[in-house]
Amino acid sequence: MDVHGTVAEGFEPVRDAFAANFTGLGDRGAAVAVYRHGRRVVELWAGTRDIDGTGPWRRGTAQVVRSATKGVAAAVPLLLHQRGRLDLDAPVGTYWPEFKAHGKERVLVRHVLGHRAGLPVLDRPLTPGEALDPARGPEAVAAQAPAWEPGTDHGYHALTYGWLVDELVRRVTGRSTGAWLADEVARPLGLDLWLGLPPAEEAAGRAGRVGAAPETEPARGLRMRPKRAVTAAYEDPGSLTRRAFAAITPFPDQNDAAYRAAALPATNAVATAEALARFYAALIGEVDGVRLFAPGTLALARAEESAGPDRVLVVNTRFGLGYMLHGSASPMLGPGSFGHPGRGGSLGFADPETGIAFGYVTNGFRKTVTADPRAQALVRAVRTALDAG
C-alpha cells in the first residue's frame, strides 16, 4: 500500500498504524490528520477515493463522515451562546414556540446538546424525501411526545439531534446550521468541510463513494465490550435503539448527490481528515490566527452533562454539550478529550491537555457505532508518539 503525505519527526508510529489499517483492518481508502498546538504534524492518505476501487484517493478527497457531523454542528449553538445569542439554560420553546407541544415546554437547550431531551425516536419515521426537506424533520420532532421525562436521563439522539439543532440555529440566526458553519467556521479556517455539499464541489468530484468495508478481526489490544445486549437491542424493532436509527426509513443513499447537498446536522457532513483535525485544533487553540472557542466555551463543551447507561446505545456513554467525551464507548486520548465518532469509522476529537486535534475519514463503513478499530489503532499510535516524545 502506497501511503502519501507527511508526518513530523516523532509521529512515525501514526504512519505505521495507518498503513497497517489497509493490510490488516480492511481499509480501502482513508486519510488521517493530526494537529498539535495549532500546527499540523500528520497528514496521510492512501487507497482509492471510492469504496469500489475507482480512482486514487488524493489530497483533498472528502467523504461523508456520518455522526462525526454532530461534533462539527455542536460548535454552532456553543458559539451562538459565546456571542450572547443563545441561552443554554432556556427552554427550547423560548426560541421555537411550536416545540412546546406534548409536555416539551421543560426541554432546555442544554438537554438537546446533552442527549437528554427524550426525543431520539419518531412515532412515524420520515421517508428519505421528507428527511431531506429542511422543514419536515423539525416539524416531526416538534409534534413528537418525549420517550422519557426530559432532563432525567440520556439516550443518543442518532438522527433527531440534527433537526433539533438545526431548527434552534434557524430560529436564532435565520440561517441553517450548514450556512452558518460555512460563513463563520469553514471560510475563516479554510476548511474542506461542508454541511450541504455545494453543486460546484459535487461536480468537481470532491466526495468519494462510501460503502460497507469487509469485517476483520479487531485491532490487537482493543478491549472489546460485551455485545449481547447491544445486538439484542438492534434486533428488537420496538427498542429505542432500533427506532432511533430508523427515524429515517429507508435511510437515503449516502452517495446520492441530493443527500450530500442536503444539510442534516446529525449525519451528513462531507469533510477531509485535515479539515476535521484543523476544526478541532481551532476549538482548543489558535490556528493561523483563528480561534473558535473561548476558554469558558471550551469548558462547557467538555463538562460532563450525561454519563452512564445510554437508553439508545445500551452501553455506557458520556456526553458534554454536543460532544462525546472520552470513555469506554468512544476512547480518545485521555479523560479531557472531546469529539465525536461517525458510525462505521470516522472520528474527530481534540485533547486540550496535549494540544492534539485528530481527524480520520474513510470510505469503508463497518458495523461499529462508536469505537472503530481502525480509528482506535491510529489514536493509540498518536499516544505512542506522545509518550516517546
Supply the residues annotated as catalytic.
67
Which DSSP category does 33 fall into?
Answer: E
Determine the residue type at 112.
Answer: V
155 to 142, 307, 339: CA distances (angstroms): 18, 10, 17
Three-state DSSP string of 59-123: CCCEEECCCHHHHHHHHHHHHHHHCCCCCCCCEHHHHCHHHHHHHHHHCEHHHHHCCCCCCCCCC
Residue of 365, 272, 364 whose CA lies nearest to 53: 364
Angle between helix 273-284 and helix 68-82 axes, rounded to 10 deg = 30
Q: What is the CA radius of gyration of the chain?
A: 19
Instruction: Give helix 68-82 / helix 295-302 axis angle, nearest 10°.
Output: 140
